[in-house]
């Protein structure tokens, strides 16, 4: 079945970097954009970035420009999100999510989500 499996929870100190992975299965990895969305404790959802696995093109939210890098490895159908200069307010659950598409028509919506990766930033 179509699924996204993310790496496990992590704890980092302020100023460090984290790299979260998202492994896709059950569909053609290069056929769908992959997005990263985070959810801070008790708060709502926040869009962070997307990557086009077919070519590697990326787009980042202005808020994270300079701190975020999204990459992919098509040989293992995995996308990565690296966030640097971590602060306590980066403590959140990070999700990868596939952008839906049907017959080449973009849904502009996220139809498959990973299980989430809890990141705790604490000294």
Considering only the stretches 9-17, 18-26, 40-48, 71-79, report the one whose residues sit in contact with other proteins under the rule CB under 8 A.
40-48
Site stretch for other proteins (CB under 8 A), options 17-25, 68-76, 78-86, 104-112: 104-112
What is the 3-class SS of the chain, one letter each residue?
A: CCEEEECCCEEECCCCCEEEEEEEECCCHHHCCEEEEEECCCCCEEEEEEECCCCCCEEECHHHCCCEEEEEEHHHCEEEEEECCCCHHHCEEEEEEEEEEECCEEEEEEEEECCCEEEEECC
Residue 115 lies near other proteins (rule: CB under 8 A): yes
Site for other proteins in 10-39 (CB under 8 A): 35, 37
Q: Applying CB under 8 A, does 1 fall inside the site for other proteins?
A: no
Q: Does 108 bind other proteins (CB under 8 A)?
A: yes
Q: Is 64 in the site for other proteins (CB under 8 A)?
A: no
Minimum distance from residue 61 beta carbon to other proteins (Å): 7
CA atoms within 13 A on the CB side of 39: 13
Residues at the site binding other proteins, with contacts judged by CB under 8 A: 35, 37, 44-47, 50, 59, 61-62, 95, 97, 100, 107-111, 113-116
């Amino acid at each position: 079945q179509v699924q996204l499996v993310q790496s496990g929870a992590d704890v980092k100190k302020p100023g460090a970097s984290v790299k979260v992975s998202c492994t896709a299965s059950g569909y053609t990895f290069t056929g769908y954009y992959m997005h990263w969305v985070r959810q801070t404790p008790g708060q709502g959802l926040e869009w962070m970035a997307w990557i086009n696995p077919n070519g590697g093109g990326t787009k980042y939210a202005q808020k994270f420009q300079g701190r975020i890098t999204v990459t992919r490895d098509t040989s293992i159908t995995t996308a990565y999100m690296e966030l640097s200069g971590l602060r306590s307010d980066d403590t959140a659950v990070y999700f990868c999510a596939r952008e839906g598409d049907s017959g080449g028509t973009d849904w502009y919506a996220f139809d498959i989500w990973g299980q989430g990766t809890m990141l705790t930033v604490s000294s």
